[in-house]
Amino acid sequence: MSQPVIAATGLYVPPDSISNNELVDAFNAYVGAFNADHATAIAAGDMAPLLPSSADFIEKASGIKSRHVVNKNGILDPAVMRPEIPERTNDELSVLAEMAVLAARDALARWGGNVSDIGAVICAASNMQRPYPAIAIEVQNALGVRGFAFDMNVACSSATFGIKTAADFISSGSAKAVLVVNPEICSGHLNFRDRDSHFIFGDVATAVIVADEALADGGWSILGTRLKTQFSNNIRNNFGFLNRCAPEGIGAADKLFVQEGRKVFREVVPMVIDMIIAHAEHLGVDPKGLKRLWLHQANINMNDMIGRKVLDRVPTPQENVIILDEFANTSSAGSIIAFHKANSDFAVGETGLICSFGAGYSAGTVFVRKR
Ligand SMILES: CC(C)(COP(=O)(O)OP(=O)(O)OC[C@H]1O[C@@H](n2cnc3c(N)ncnc32)[C@H](O)[C@@H]1OP(=O)(O)O)[C@@H](O)C(=O)NCCC(=O)NCCS
């Protein structure tokens, strides 16, 4: 059996960035206009006024300070409040594929291997731009990769599920190297008029090359991968191809991202802690000896709690990497951004953990050792 290795990673960051203050100013302008438009109903007690958002609340409750997005102007226009992404023709590279290709090119340049050695492309992300042809096949075509490609969606856990799938392809000999891309335009499914969640997400793309050890110069041995799912409605997105078939009409906000944030926090944190500790034990890895945690980036308080339990001490910022202050929650890409940005100081033999968790519920652990 071949030993799978994370041979390289890549990152594409959209140039636009929105601070909490900018986002809150736009939201509160919308709230002011909405309440003025409905002043009579509000005064009569027939309608509750919308409440303003607060940048202080956002940073304290989540750790988020800003987010990168594919289009800033549309999101910040109180009359629009969504990214404006012009439709492209079928002959042009689609937006999601374009972001994935840019992240993949970054990973390919760091790898130094040959595109001809890649046997598969997996696009693992929360939201695909269309059902078919697969975004992964479009990326495969743009990069000139042989073999096969397919899309998979396990929400925020898509990257670890993709890495596990790629690692299994390497172990079984189905491919010598696999490109996993995670393009996330999370702003496209975010309700920027919802006070509870308008601050949560950002846009980005990451790429991971998983290869047979013979094709990796250095890199990271994958010691083990483990996946878990458990059904929950607490994070949900009802957008789908049957929306247009509902006789009662498509509805509105409920076809975007919705969550019960408190419940998610309470239920997912213990699930992930148990999973990490059990998987570490299974692999003979002492969790307290992990040099680094590259956790999913949804909420700094969640990550603090998981880090404290797993390492059995208060982790330093170097041990428990946080990137959501700059990027917000970028769904599947979060743990990969953290890994990509904070691994250059590892000595050969040191061990760390990539871990994702999110909707489904779903969670994935990938223990890696520097080689
Ligand atoms: C979303 C999240 C940041 C919200 O933080 P929270 O501390 O749970 O906040 P709550 O929703 O309970 O709201 C607390 C208070 O702040 C208020 N509030 C909510 N949004 C606000 C905003 N934008 N600005 C100001 N106040 C706000 C609420 O109305 C509530 O007020 P009350 O106490 O008077 O009722 C947090 O629950 C979270 O990150 N959970 C995990 C989510 C997750 O991992 N999801 C995976 C996504 S893929």
pLDDT of residue 248: 80
357 in any annotated domain: yes
63 lines ligand 1 (CB under 6 A): no
Q: Is the pLDDT of residue 201 over 90?
A: yes
Domain, as residue range, for 319? 221-370
pLDDT of residue 249: 76
- Closest C-alpha to ligand 1, atom 13: 196
Over residues 211-253, the pLDDT tens digits come to 999 999 999 999 999 999 999 999 999 999 988 888 887 766 6
Taking residues 79-106, report their average pLDDT: 97
DSSP string, 47-113: SPPPPPP-HHHHHHHH---EEEES-HHHHH-TTT-S-------TTSPPHHHHHHHHHHHHHHHHH--
For the domain that residue 259 is a member of, what is the CATH number?
3.40.47.10
156 lines ligand 1 (CB under 6 A): yes
- Closest C-alpha to ligand 1, atom 19: 196
Could you give the 3-state DSSP secondary structure of residue 325? helix
Indicate which atom in ligand 1 lies nearest the CA of residue 296.
44
Could you give the 3-state DSSP secondary structure of residue 220? strand
Q: Which two tokens stand for residue 296?
A: 């999913």
Q: How many CB atoms lie within 10 A of CB 93?
A: 15
pLDDT of residue 253: 63
pLDDT of residue 252: 63
Mean pLDDT across the chain: 96
313, with CB counted inside 10 A (0-12, 13-18, 19+), is: exposed
82 lines ligand 1 (CB under 6 A): no
Residue 361, H or E segment: none
Give distance in angstroms: CA of 45 to centre of ligand 1.
25
Distance set, CA 7 to CA 175, 176, 221, 246 (Å): 14, 12, 9, 46
Range 34-41 contact pairs with CB under 8 angstroms and sequence separation of 24 or more: none
148 lines ligand 1 (CB under 6 A): no
274 in any annotated domain: yes
Q: Is the pLDDT of residue 47 over 80?
A: yes
**What distance, in Å, lies between the first and last C-alpha atoms of the chain?**
18
Give distance in angstroms: CA of 46 to centre of ligand 1.
26
pLDDT of residue 260: 96
72 in any annotated domain: no
pLDDT of residue 290: 98
9 lines ligand 1 (CB under 6 A): no
64 lines ligand 1 (CB under 6 A): no
285 in any annotated domain: yes
62 lines ligand 1 (CB under 6 A): yes
- Closest C-alpha to ligand 1, atom 37: 261
Indicate which atom in ligand 1 lies nearest the CA of residue 301.
39
Q: Which of 62, 192, 322 to mutate to test the pocket of ligand 1 (most atoms within 8 A of CB)?
A: 62
Taking residues 176-193, report their average pLDDT: 97
Give distance in angstroms: CA of 196 to centre of ligand 1.
6
108 in any annotated domain: no
Of 280, 296, 275, 279, nearest in space to 357 by CA: 296
Residues classed as catalytic: 156
Percentage of the chain with pLDDT > 90?
Answer: 95
- Please give the tally of structural domains in the chain: 1
Give distance in angstroms: CA of 54 to centre of ligand 1.
11
Largest CA distance in the chain: 73
Q: Which two tokens stand for residue 34?
A: 């909405």
229 in any annotated domain: yes
96 lines ligand 1 (CB under 6 A): no
Q: How far apart are CA 280 and CA 365, in angstroms?
A: 9
pLDDT of residue 244: 86
265 in any annotated domain: yes
pLDDT of residue 56: 98
Q: Say whether the peptide bond before residue 133 is cis (omega within 30 degrees of 0).
A: yes
Indicate which atom in ligand 1 lies nearest the CA of residue 268.
44
234 lines ligand 1 (CB under 6 A): no
47 in any annotated domain: no
Q: How far apart are CA 114 and CA 5, in angstroms?
A: 16
Over residues 260-296, the pLDDT tens digits come to 999 999 999 999 999 999 999 999 999 999 999 999 9
